Amino acid sequence: MDAGGEWSSRPVQSQAVPDADETTIRAVDEADVETLFKLIVELAEYEKLADKVRGDAEVLRRTLFEERAAEALLLERGGEAIGYAIFFTTFSSFECRSGIWMEDVYVRPEHRRGGIGRRVIEHLAQLAIERGHVRLEWCALDWNEPALNFYDKLGATRLDGWTMLRVDGERLRQLAQN
């Protein structure tokens, strides 16, 4: 957001982008929130983290469409939702410029290996360039070898020497009170 509280990045255009397999990548709209949330739960189950899902479709709707804290893409084939991506703007102090953080990219297992994951990341790379961002970043679980191998083939760099850290829940509230 800018100093006036306005969202400063251009929104994802809702125009569908077909790929060779008749898959479309389009911006999520409010009518898609229930479907998007179901896909998020599917990803959590795949990652063995379903017990960590705390939000719901209404929280997701408010976060995406009222707070505009993130953007989401829906992947469709033949009118069926087959995956999604969620991303938001980041900032690099060393670059003094913004980037995109890809929070999730998920394709249902039966639709993998058809090139759609690559198309999603290419789409986000195009958005990054169009918006003047300097990088596209994400993380992957260290046990998810299929994903890590896929990212290696894309030419992604593993950032050895960096450890992700998090403060949430009660510890976050405690820190905020000090």
State the catalytic residues: 151
> Are the C-beta atoms of residues 99 and 92 closer than 8 Å to each other?
yes
118: its two tokens: 């690559």
Question: Minimal CA–CA distance to 138: which of 97, 102, 90?
Answer: 102
- Cα 121 to chain centroid, rounded: 10
Report the C-alpha gap between 178 and 96 in whole angstroms. Answer: 30
